[in-house]
Structure 1
Amino acid sequence: MNAWSPDPTKLSRPAYLSLADQFTRAIADGSLAAGTQLKTQRKLAFELGLSVQTVSRSYEELIRRGLIVGEVGRGSFVRAGLAENAPPYLTERSKELIDLSILKPVSDRMHTELMRNGLHWVADNMAAASALSFRPSSVLPRHRAVAAEWLRRGGIVAAPDNIIITDGATSAITTAVMSAAPAGSTMATSALTHHLLIPLCKYLGIHLEGLASDDDGILPDALDHAAARGAVQVLYMQPSAIGPRTTMVSEKRRIEIVEIARRHDLTIIENDVLNALIVDRPPPLAALAPERVLHINGFTKITLPGLRLAYLVAPDRLSASAANRHLVTNWMATPVMVDLLSHWINDGTVDKLLDWQRAALRDRHALARDMLAGTSFRAHPQSLHIWLELPPGYDEDQFVARATQRGVAIASGRAFRVNDRNRRDAVRIALGSTHVGELRRGLQMVTELLNEEAEPLLPMI
């Protein structure tokens, strides 16, 4: 048995969840190591002055969170560390494979030339502070003013001091999660979510609760129920076509979600990395509930991959903590790239890139509709991918493996799945990761594989 024990003075109602949260924090910080045997439910109930039923519910919650396992006749044990999450995309470009696995905007030689010219502009116009200063306060204030104006165009009113400029959306997501969700807490999200959120929460000791969704996003009743039983403190959403199923959450559903968040005092993390790329998108959650939304507004997915920058907007109550967590994880965004982003926003280059990207995606989506006619897939006109649902009986990992054998890399739905409730096996196919000729050949390979698999896929030996 381990020397660590829960503190009965720190229990709150409902007691079973409060007790589970104490165990979760202890497992996250190493106080309870993998393999540690927990006290019997009866013994722990006696020590804490709780009912055996309360402790039993707490252990069941820990099993549901994937933190402990119960072994008949032996007791309950802290689970050994899970294997690292494999990324859904090829980690290295392969000459042998058509890569439709990684999510990228469409690009061509024009983007390379534009970046070269942009870096020449930076070299000629760079402020000394961008090269020499360690202090974000010396480098970024004027760029935050540009960011505030950019966000205003999208319906978000934010004070410049509440805007953190980060090296891309991943940095912004990490900062937002660390700011909103302490170790041991629970974050709700759609059952299909951002593939990096799953390992991030695991590393930070945060339980990720996958909620039921429909074609309009997370079901309000599912969120309301989870929040009402005290199981959720934070909600993570990708409301504008960036999620695996390319869902565009309606304004009505967004308002319903915000009302529930206010009623239960939930913090919302809004990943809006496609932002201005989406034509006529509903108001961002940050515009509907600025007092409780951490909003992520990115540029990598809407302009070109080398512009790895994003804006993170924090509400007043989280502004200082978000700034501090960004400092300890990233310090500040790369100043010379921020110089370039502000210049491109001011001179209209970003708007031109958005127009170009929309036109390119229009052509790519038309190609996908033609090549995959008769299959069941989801897409949005400005999404960077499609979500191809496989026929009943098909296994997504096997399908990805066989596609790889044929010469095309696609992403398994497993990487995006928080839980298996109402599971339907699917694959994500990126539309912008290669030139149009390879995209056509890759989609043809996927279609042929679907047509050849008249029988359900069998386990691979």
Structure 2
Amino acid sequence: MTISLPHWLDGIDTVPGPKYKAIAQRISDAVGSGALKPGERLPPQRELAWALECTVGTISRAYAEAERRGLLGGEVGRGTYIRDASAPTALDSRGIAGYWHSPSLENAAGQNSKPHAMDAIADWTPDMGPAERESGPIGLNHDYPPLGVECLETARTMTQLASDPILMEMLSYQPHAGIGRHRAAGADWIGRRGVAATAENVVVSTGAHNGVLATLSAITRAGDTIAAEALSYPGIKAIAGMLGLRLTPVTLDEEGLIPDALDTLCRQQKIAAVYTIPTLQNPTNTIMSESRRREIAEVAARHGLPVVEDDIFGMLAQDKTPALSAFLPDDLAFYICSISKTLAPGLRVGYVHGPRRQTAQIAAALRTSSWMASPFTAEIGTRWIESGAADRILESHFREIEARRTMVLDAFRDYEVSCPPGALHAWIALPSPWRIGELVAEAQSQGVILPPTDSFMIGGGETPHAFRLSYCPPRHRSRLREGLDALLNLLDGTTRVEAAQVL
């Protein structure tokens, strides 16, 4: 294939810095000089990538950056073109992609104008949506990110996909481990957590839960014993039951899994693997320090113990300690994450990174459980990672999580609460004489749903005198405030509206 380089990109290889930014700047310069005129079509991304000898992802990011600056637009069947600065964008013309149309955004821009699409993305919050869509019980029992600009980014990405020939490919069967581009995007995403990931070692899964299932299916056999934190993600019990595995608890402290307890357990019995959540542990919100991670890695190396790291919340944590897998021997590290808990739960896209010799086994396990991850949703996730949309979505989630976290900490200021920055839930000590079962039942009678604490327990023992409160599911902060007020009224019998003011 021979593609000539557009004249406005002459000498681009000599420009210092990231290539995508250099391309975006050249587009800006060409628009300013008149070399590129409104309505002029830019080269297809694959053709330009070929001409510049770079990846399609680089061109995607360049075009996204130019679009962020208000320089580009797109239409189904037309491709990418230079935007007329006086014309509304496709997103602008319908407020926010139809369903997300919001009078609040229109009013903020003035009666006779519409906000630019990227400005809308920067400013949008869930409270701008229609409150009447929420009704029924207030669910504070599930962990997933608050609604954010993924709604807008999805509309943008699906518009792009509609005019891309790759759409037909995404509606067909793909390799069980995922296609190369999607695995490369997963490696990029995993690399942000300090893990030296390669596309060849990545398997695309249908979310992290499916990734854990496939990994344990590949590295264990029915009857094996696996270790897990004494309080842990309830799904691990369901997975162990499905695979015929025995679960044994490992004691926790303020940093999570205790190395000596794990070492003692491995000396006492044969442990096939350990499942752990080192960052924003579920439900306690503990975060392992780097020294603790190194100690766990030493125990694993000493016993040849495979470590299944569920880093489902790692990308949200403001504590930037590298993932535990970054300290483990390569042949013992099985790292699992997803974009479901960080970008959009409905996409159901996860990534598993493990030793090369086990990649095919994990892919085979995925084939058994789900055949393959959806190529369509994996493509959306890949484009978000490549274009920088993932970063915009994360930033919108950070802002909303922090606003809600502040509400919870203020409301429960007289209680013992574990709720670090980036956490999707709070772990709250229950005051006497309350018992957790009573609180869950009473809260439900008041229209507030909490998870039973014993659902997090691995093995027997006394149920902790604490409860988990997930504060992101309510679409609007006003609904969260209602739930907090109801709980506080139960706990101390007073009206505490002022403790959870909407920010």
Query: How high is the TM-score relative to the length of structure 2?
Result: 0.68
Aligned to 2:247: 208
Q: Shift in Å at residue 199 of structure 1?
A: 1.8
Q: 1:245 to 1:137 in 2, by over 3 A?
A: closer
Alignment of 1:377-396 (within 5 A): 377-396=417-436
Corresponding residue for residue 375 of structure 1: 415
Within the candidate set 411, 431, 438, 2:479 is matched to 438
Greater shift after overlay, 244-253 or 386-395?
Answer: 386-395
Residue 146 of structure 1 and its aligned partner are, at CA, apart by 2.3
Instruction: Flag the 1:138–1:300 CA change in 2: closer, same or farther, 3 A.
Output: closer
Query: Residues 284 and 372 from structure 1, CA distance in 2 versus in 1: closer, same or farther, beyond 3 angstroms?
Result: same
Distance 1:303 1:371, change over 3 A: same
Q: Deviations over 1:230-285 (max 9, x none)?
A: 24221101011041001111111111111001111111000001222222421212
CA distance in 2, matches of 1:421, 1:251: 30
SS of structure 1 residue aligned to 2:420: coil
Secondary structure of the equivalent of 1:276? coil
Q: Is the 8 A contact 2:206 2:374 kept in 1?
A: yes
Deviations 1:31-90 (A, max 9, x none): xxxxxxxxxxxxxxxxxxxxxxxxxxxxxxxxxxxxxxxxxxxxxxxxxxxxxxxxxxxx
Q: Where do 5+ consecutive residues of structure 1 fail to align?
A: 1-92, 454-461
Q: Identify if the C-alpha distance between structure 1 residues 329 and 396 changes in structure 2 by more than 3 Å, giving closer, same or farther.
A: same
More RCO (CA 8 Å, sep 6+): 1
2:222 alignment counterpart? 183
Q: What amino acid is aligned across from residue 350 of structure 1 in structure 2?
A: A
Distance across 1 between alignment mates of 2:134 and 2:458: 29
Number of aligned residues = 360
Partner of residue 292, structure 2: 253
Q: Which residue identity does 1:450 align to in structure 2?
A: L
Deviation of 1:107 after TM superposition, in Å, equals 0.6
1:327 corresponds to: 367
For residue 403 of structure 2, what is the aligned residue in structure 1?
363
Partner of 2:261: 222
The aligned amino acid for 2:413 is A
Which of these residues, 446, 451, 454, is aligned with residue 492 of structure 2?
451
Query: Residue 117 of structure 1 aligns to which amino acid in structure 2?
Result: R
Structure 1, residues 279-305: CA drift from partner, whole Å, max 9, x if none? 242121221113211111211111122
Going from structure 1 to structure 2, the CA distance change for 1:230 and 1:401 (only over 3 Å counts) comes to: same
Following TM superposition, by how much is the alpha carbon of 1:182 offset from its aligned partner in structure 2, in angstroms?
A: 1.3
Residues 231-380 of structure 1 correspond to what in structure 2 (within 5 A)?
A: 231-289=270-328, 290-380=330-420
2:231 is matched with 192
Distance of 1:266 and 1:441 partners within structure 2:
46
Task: Provide TM-score, normalisation by structure 1.
Answer: 0.74
Paired residue secondary structure (2:344): coil
How much does 1:431 deviate? 1.3
Inter-partner Cα distance in structure 2 for 1:243 and 1:281:
18
Identity of aligned residues (%): 28
State the alpha-carbon separation in 2 of the partners of residues 126 and 326 from structure 1: 27
Q: Aligned partners of 1:245, 1:107: CA distance in 2, in Å?
A: 24
**Helix, strand or coil at the partner of 1:282:** coil
* Contact 1:141/1:160 (8 A) holds in 2: yes
Measure, in 2, the Cα distance between the counterparts of 1:161 and 1:241: 28
Please list the CA deviations of residues 366-423 of structure 1 after superposition, one character each: whole Å capped at 9, or x if unmatched. 1101111111221111010011221245321221110011121111111111134364
1:365 positional shift:
0.9
Structure 2 gaps of 5+ residues are 1-132, 495-503
Confirm whether residue 160 of structure 1 aligns to residue 199 of structure 2.
yes
**Residue of structure 1 in register with 2:140 after alignment:** 100
Structure-2 residue corresponding to 1:49: none
**In 2 relative to 1, CA 228–393 (structure 1 residues): closer, same or farther, beyond 3 Å?**
farther
Name the structure 1 match of 2:7: none
| Separation in 1, partners of 2:283, 2:412 | 18
Relative distance call for 1:190 and 1:270 in structure 2 (3 A) is same
The alpha-carbon deviation at position 193 of structure 1 amounts to 0.4
Instruction: Sort the Cα spacing of 1:94 and 1:353 in 2 relative to 1 into closer, same or farther, 3 A.
Output: closer
Q: For 1:132-151, what aligned pairs fall within 5 Å after superposition?
A: 133-136=172-175, 140-151=179-190
**8 Å CA contact retained: 1:385, 1:428:** yes
Give 3-state SS (helix, strand or coil) of 1:411's partner.
Answer: coil
CA positional deviation for 1:441: 1.2
Once superposed, what is the RMSD of the aligned Cα atoms? 2.0
Residue 451 of structure 2: which of 406, 411, 418 is its match?
A: 411
Q: Contact 2:144/2:341 (CA < 8 Å) preserved in 1? A: yes
Do 1:240 and 1:281's aligned partners in 2 also have CA atoms closer than 8 Å? no
Indicate the SS of the match to 2:271.
coil
Query: 2: CA distance between counterparts of 1:245 and 1:187?
Result: 20
